[in-house]
Structure 1
Amino acid sequence: MKVKVALRILLERSVKKMGKGMNPIVKTAALEMIELAYNEGIYVQISAGYRSLEEQASLYGQGRVYIYNGKNYSNLAKPNVTNAKPGQSYHNFGLAIDFFIVSDDGKKAIWTVNSKWQRVAAIGKELGFIWGGDWSSFKDYPHLEMTGGLSYKQLQAGKKPYITSPKTSKGDGHIMSIQKTINSRYKTSIAVDGVYGPKTRSALIKGLQVELYKQFNKKLVVDGKWGPKTKNATVTIKKGASCNITWILQAALYMKGFNPDTLDGEFGGKTEAALYKYQKASRISADKLAGKVTWNELFA
């Protein structure tokens, strides 16, 4: 009979792999993800965290001829593993991690992207991470990142990302306020626990469905499920909008780690800035408009 790997072992291995250059909030969220997954019987480990520019150069040099700072990092005997040059990876700034699943005894790495893998990614997203598996152009299934909406060039120039505290199981006061408003406004009964989980996400979708019907006569089944009918019924809102749909947008942005500062239903400059940062980080059109693509990115 195999002995189940201890949570402590997974955490210790992951701390070692992430290194000393991690953003503390990103590191905390990564460890919380491991613990939450462990509680569901999924054993996950971090394989990479902070990566120096020299390490990035070595990785980029695999499969190609590459010289960085006068040093040859070429390794044609191995296949390409990244298209990011030094300074072009969020790993270089301690804002990204890679993960994988391990066997129950913790001795074997499992790289198959199955339901367990997708569940870990979902937990990571609930904690504020962006998952590489959601990208449309290049799928990077082990990758999770928190960018604070900053580009590589901004980070290279020394700009510091603003990342809110991870939405851990210890509870987030702003999320608790959102949950109370949802319960009051849409007659739901979700737990006011400060955690952005599946039930809170579903309740937000219900709220959007209700508002689409009330304000735009969109005939939808209010079921809290994100399907093609709800996606197609969404409307585009922009700066200047004042309505409950704007409040839902603000709440959803906050859940993703992009704080609009106030949740007042008023689409002002700070909401627009948070939306823009989220669009950039999600690699969708950063047009500062909350339309079908943005709504789908927030709730799909």
Structure 2
Amino acid sequence: MTVALRTLLDLSVKKMGKGMNPVVKASALEMVERAYNEGITVQISAGYRSLEEQANLYGQGRVYSYNGKNYSNLAKPIVTNAKPGQSYHNFGLAIDFFIVSDDGKKAIWTVNSKWQRVAAIGKELGFIWGGDWISFRDYPHLEMTGGLSYKQLQAGKKPHLTFKLEKMEMPKASKGDSHIISIQKTLNSRYKTNIEGDGFYGPKTRLALIKGLQTELNKQYNKKLIVDGKWGPKTKTATVTLKKGAAGYITWILQAALYMEGYSPGPLDGEFGEKTEMALYKYQKAKKMTADKQAGKETWNELLA
């Protein structure tokens, strides 16, 4: 019996974890589905990696300490040359993959024609393949850098990635996150946007969220913003700080944006309760921001810039 596509997608989402760039995440899932439609069963094995997890990985086969903690493990072989902050995994911009046996029970690491075809699909979707590197070939690795270096990412610069899925016909079998589909439908009805309810968080959905925020800031706070979906200095300056107890459409936009980033705020009901507060806190901690449980300018900028 051939493993179900839904199983491969669900396992891939779990392995990628929270903190993934939404374009990279959606493109990875599209790659899995396209390969499946060609008779190749593939799964994502890794995605976002914290700095501590990177230190642990780098410490394999080495004597290494990071932030005063020992991460040495000479019993294992060296698997990476990237120190913490020097891997695109640390910024949610990279994934690793492997081929799965047809029944889904065995991982296959042989770089054969199927493996190379999956890599080719990934490159069609905008990924850079580690198998093309000269000095250190990393065959499971795919990344989207947006042309940014590690130092630029460490300094807080964000890549502007091309969401190639929106330029291609989505396979009819493709079904994204049902909650994101609901968010997209709400944005369309409430703010007259025209985005496809595909369940993936891409640039068009992000633009619609910004339009919604601009609309609500104009209505509730008379900010007189141009509702264009662009995150510029005027919109950033016009944002208001939300905290526990807040309610309304702006709170709903905050909840939707947090959910898109993989942090569930509970029901998307426009009520800033305990679950929304905890989701916000976890997001701020993950992004190494001031974790004050309040959505101020810094938080809005991180979510929507």
Q: TM-score, normalised by structure 1?
A: 0.57
Q: Residue 26 of structure 2 contacts residue 200 of structure 2 at CA under 8 Å; is this kept in 1?
A: no
Question: Does residue 1:26 correspond to 2:11, yes or no?
Answer: no
Aligned residues: 220
Secondary structure of 2:145's aligned partner: helix
**Residues 132 and 206 of structure 1, relative CA distance in 2, 3 Å threshold:** farther
Instruction: Tell me the percent identity.
Output: 52
The residue type equivalent to 1:230 in the other structure is: T
Q: TM-score, normalised by structure 2?
A: 0.56
What does residue 110 of structure 2 align with?
none
What does residue 117 of structure 2 align with?
none
Match for residue 59 of structure 2 among 42, 53, 57:
57
What does residue 265 of structure 2 align with?
260
Q: Residue 60 of structure 2 contacts residue 72 of structure 2 at CA under 8 Å; is this kept in 1?
A: no
**Residues 56 and 237 of structure 1, relative CA distance in 2, 3 Å threshold:** same
After superposition, give the CA deviation of every residue in 1:255-296 in whole Å (9 maximum; x if it has no partner): 000001110101001100000001111111111000000000
Question: Does residue 1:249 correspond to 2:254, yes or no?
Answer: yes
State the Cα distance separating 1:33 from its structure 2 match: 3.5
What does residue 194 of structure 2 align with?
189
Q: Residue 63 of structure 2 contacts residue 72 of structure 2 at CA under 8 Å; is this kept in 1?
A: no
What does residue 101 of structure 1 align with?
128
What does residue 226 of structure 1 align with?
231
Secondary structure of 2:240's aligned partner: coil
Aligned mates of 1:176, 1:70 — CA distance in 2: 44
After superposition, give the CA deviation of every residue in 1:67-119 in whole Å (9 maximum; x if it has no partner): 7679699x9xxxx94259xxxx9x9xxx995677239xx644599xxx96328
State the Cα distance separating 1:206 from its structure 2 match: 0.0
Aligned mates of 2:45, 2:152 — CA distance in 1: 16
Gaps of 5+ in 1: 1-21, 40-45, 122-130, 142-167
Equivalent residues in 2 for 1:83-122 (5 A)?
83=84, 101-102=128-129, 107-108=132-133, 117-118=145-146
Q: Residue 169 of structure 1 contacts residue 195 of structure 1 at CA under 8 Å; is this kept in 2?
A: no
**Residues 176 and 82 of structure 1, relative CA distance in 2, 3 Å threshold:** same
Gaps of 5+ in 2: 1-10, 35-43, 97-126, 137-142, 160-172
Q: Residue 58 of structure 2 contacts residue 82 of structure 2 at CA under 8 Å; is this kept in 1?
A: no
**Residues 191 and 70 of structure 1, relative CA distance in 2, 3 Å threshold:** closer
State the Cα distance separating 1:199 from its structure 2 match: 0.8
Equivalent residues in 2 for 1:1-300 (5 A)?
25-27=14-16, 33-34=27-28, 36=30, 55-58=57-60, 61=63, 81-83=82-84, 101-102=128-129, 107-108=132-133, 117-118=145-146, 134-136=153-155, 170-300=175-305
**Residues 120 and 212 of structure 1, relative CA distance in 2, 3 Å threshold:** same
Q: Residue 216 of structure 2 contacts residue 250 of structure 2 at CA under 8 Å; is this kept in 1?
A: yes
**Residues 120 and 258 of structure 1, relative CA distance in 2, 3 Å threshold:** farther
**Residues 202 and 285 of structure 1, relative CA distance in 2, 3 Å threshold:** same
Aligned mates of 2:72, 2:45 — CA distance in 1: 27
